[in-house]
Amino acid sequence: MTAVSGVDPVTAVAFLLLLGGVAGSFLPAVPAAVLSTAGVLVYWWNTGFTEPGTVLLVVLLATGLLAALSDWLGGVVAARVGGASTLSAVVGGTVGVVLLFGVGPVGMLLGAALTVFAVEYARRRDARSGAAAAGAYVVGFFASALAQALLTVSILVAMVAVAL
């Protein structure tokens, strides 16, 4: 492959992956952290495993892992913090993932929150604690999306600094 306008095609792919990671952090079902991490690894491979250096590479990969965990577990952890049982949080999260592919992101969020509420209500017969747990799930969902966005942006910024 030849470079166009002085940009190596593999480097361009790496940065497209990094940009896809940032964009994907705002879209459900897009593995943003995976895209960002792949961008780092493609760039590293293309430089003959020299850039970024070992320490920065480990930090960037750990940041990608943290972003992935935030994405996958944010709502569940927040529901637990909001008083939901582990069962409610896990069932709500599972229902959310299934609904994402059936009814989209809004249905996913509403379905997961309603599931957390229903399981908590069935356990405690207390609508207030069920609502609090469901509300915590929703807040955690949005907080995890924000955390993932910030983490993927930080990976992109670091890689731009490496490339320059």
What is the residue extent of each domain of the chain?
Answer: 9-163
Our measurement of the distance from residue 75's CA atom to the centroid of its chain's CA atoms, rounded to an integer in Å, reads: 11
Whole-number mean pLDDT of the chain? 90
- Taking alpha carbons only, the member of 95, 76, 56, 53 closest to residue 133 is 76
Q: pLDDT for 65-88, tens place per residue? A: 999 998 888 877 888 888 888 888
Structure pTM? 0.83
Other residues' Cβ atoms within 10 Å of the Cβ of residue 12: 14
